[in-house]
A and B are shown apart, each in its own frame.
Chain A
């Protein structure tokens, strides 16, 4: 089954404790992206990647890091999480030419 998976689905952590949210897709997609969704602000793009070792900033990259060492994986790293990073995070992937994104199930992160 074609899918985008994210782990964990739910995470409660404390300020400053480094965390990684994993994202993996099995569709051989070139384009992968991370979004955060907040009430009243909609979906905002954090980072995206056009292919292995090619990443670029989206609209709200501050406080986040990504890497793309393998085509299927695109982890999101919060090195020192803060309460304003409490949000619902989505990973998405698509073929590079079509941009028809498939979204993962989401990760709800709470930073206290």
Chain B
């Protein structure tokens, strides 16, 4: 069974802090990982993806992948109240996606 697991939270951070969201996966054959943000009542929107070991930065967001530990993370720097949402981690194996259940993030002004 291919699984992607996330801590459901809720995670609360003060405005301006770094929010750290984590995800583990069970299938070593997964080749890429994606982070989506989903506001309440809305559809998921892609933040970024990563497929190589190490860090990938895009603005205030940094994705990290450690294939040896089967671990993916998303760091949000200078967190803003508008970052309050549920963050979904997804792994791609072949042409099939496996999503975690999401982590709820609240940024407190």
A-to-B contact residues, CB < 8 Å: 31, 33, 35, 40-45, 48, 50, 56, 58-59, 90, 99-106
Contact = CB atoms under 8 A, between A and B. Distances in A.
A45 B97 CA distance: 7
Nearest to A98: B49
Interface string B45-73: 11001000000000000000000000000
B25 interface: no
Given A90-B44, A99-B34, A100-B46, A44 B95 contact: no
Interface residues of B, number: 19
Interface of B: 32, 34, 42-46, 49, 88, 90, 92, 95-102
A8 to B, nearest CB: 15
Contacts of A99: 32, 34, 49, 92, 97
28 contacts: A33-B97, A35-B97, A41-B101, A42-B100, A42-B102, A43-B99, A45-B96, A45-B97, A50-B95, A56-B95, A59-B98, A90-B43, A90-B44, A99-B32, A99-B34, A99-B49, A99-B97, A100-B34, A100-B49, A101-B34, A102-B46, A103-B43, A103-B44, A103-B45, A104-B43, A105-B42, A105-B43, A106-B43
